[in-house]
Amino acid sequence: MKTIVTATEAARRFGDLLAEIKHAGRSVEITKNGEAIATLQPVRRAGGMTLKEFAALWADGADTPSFAEDLERINAADQPPANPWA
């Protein structure tokens, strides 16, 4: 899902937009004078997989021989966040 905001709104809500990108996985398109000038989107992590990518794998390859290996790879990449108070 993509959110569209003006440059002025992006400047005012930058922190909120970053949180939306990080936690909801949304892309943000920034416009100026009605023209799209930039897109902010989540960074793809090495070894990670988005929910959309997983859904595509599930739909396209649930019956393939390597499916169990794919699930193991996904599970191995799913690490809990570090505890900032540790």
pLDDT digits (tens, 9 = 90+) for 40-57: 998 876 667 777 877 887
- CA atoms of 22 and 25, how far apart (whole Å): 6
Give ∠ CA 75-60-23 in degrees, rounded to 5. 50
18: left (phi over 0), alpha (psi -120 to 50) or beta: alpha
Question: CB-side exposure of 43: number of CA atoms within 13 Å?
Answer: 4
- pLDDT for res 80: 75
Model-level pTM?
Answer: 0.51
pLDDT interval class at 26 (50, 70, 90): confident
Q: What's the mean per-residue pLDDT of the chain? A: 83
Question: Residue for token digits 């930058």?
Answer: 14
* Strand partners of residue 51: none
pLDDT of 86 = 66
